[in-house]
Amino acid sequence: MGDFDPRTHVAEEAGYDANENYVRGLKMPETRFGNMVHNHSPDEQRIMRTQGDEAEAAGLRHYQVRHSKGFYIIENGIVVGSGRG
C-alpha cells in the first residue's frame, strides 16, 4: 500500500500502533479529514469519523473508511487510494 518511510515522513500527529511501536503520522489530522469528507453529507461524515477514530484507537496503520458509494484507503493517517463498491 505504498512506501512509507517513518524516518523521512513529516506528520502532524503521532501515536502508538497496535504493536506498541511509536509511529509518526498514525492519526489523521482534522484538516486532512475535512478534505477527505468534503461533499459528503453531515451524517456520512459523522459515520466516517467514527470509523477512523475506532481504527486509530486500535492502533491500525492501514484501514478503510467506508461511505455510501465506496471507500477510502488510509495509510498512516494519509488517504492513499479509494474505490467504489
Using 50 as the pLDDT threshold, list the residues of the chain that sit under it.
1, 9
**pTM of the full structure:** 0.74
- The predicted-structure confidence for 31-43, as pLDDT tens digits, reads as follows 889 999 999 999 9
The Cβ-side half-sphere exposure at 64, using a 13 Å CA radius, reads 10
Q: What pLDDT is stored for residue 13 in this prediction?
A: 66
The answer to whether 18 and 58 are in contact (CB under 8 A) is: yes
User: What is the structure's pLDDT at 1?
Assistant: 45
